[in-house]
Amino acid sequence: MSEKKKFNVEYEVKSSPKILFGFLNEPNGLAQWFADDVNYRDQVYTFTWDGEQQKAKLLSIKENKHVKFKWLDDEPHCYFEMEIVQDELTNDVALSITDFATDDTLQDRKLIWDNQIQYLVSVLGA
């Protein structure tokens, strides 16, 4: 089995960090773009897609800055992080995604993020 490696993708998002942040950490916000349904209990988020559940533990969170999750069934070194990056000069806001994938699944993972973020942007009306 080939080892998963870290990768990063960044998307421009026309939104304030405060509004965007609600879509990254609140179950209601996440359920609007990331998964069909999201529940949160004891630091664990349960994401549901097409009736299938996946659980992720919240590793760290910084208000209006980032959230970092770890899939409970994933390799120990793997996590996914959504970070809000704001340019100090232009105030442009970007969403930086850090995730892990094997060489075989990298393109698929990037495509999934592309689609998810596209959906998020449409939900934000950005």
Query: What's the chain's length in residues?
Result: 126
Domain that holds residue 34: 5-124
Whole-number pLDDT of residue 53:
97
Whole-number pLDDT of residue 1:
65
Q: How many CB atoms lie within 10 A of CB 96?
A: 14
Whole-number pLDDT of residue 126:
61
pLDDT tens for 27-51 read 999 999 999 999 999 989 999 999 9
Amino acid, res. 78? C
Amino acid, res. 61? I
DSSP per-residue codes, 31-45: HTTT-SEEEEETTEE
Domain count, the chain: 1
CA pair distance 25, 82, nearest whole angstrom: 10
Segment-wise mean pLDDT, segments of 10 residues, the chain, 126 residues: 92 96 97 96 94 96 98 94 96 97 96 96 88
Owner of token pair 């993708």: 9
Any idea what the CATH number is for the domain that residue 109 is in?
3.30.530.20
Whole-number pLDDT of residue 125:
87
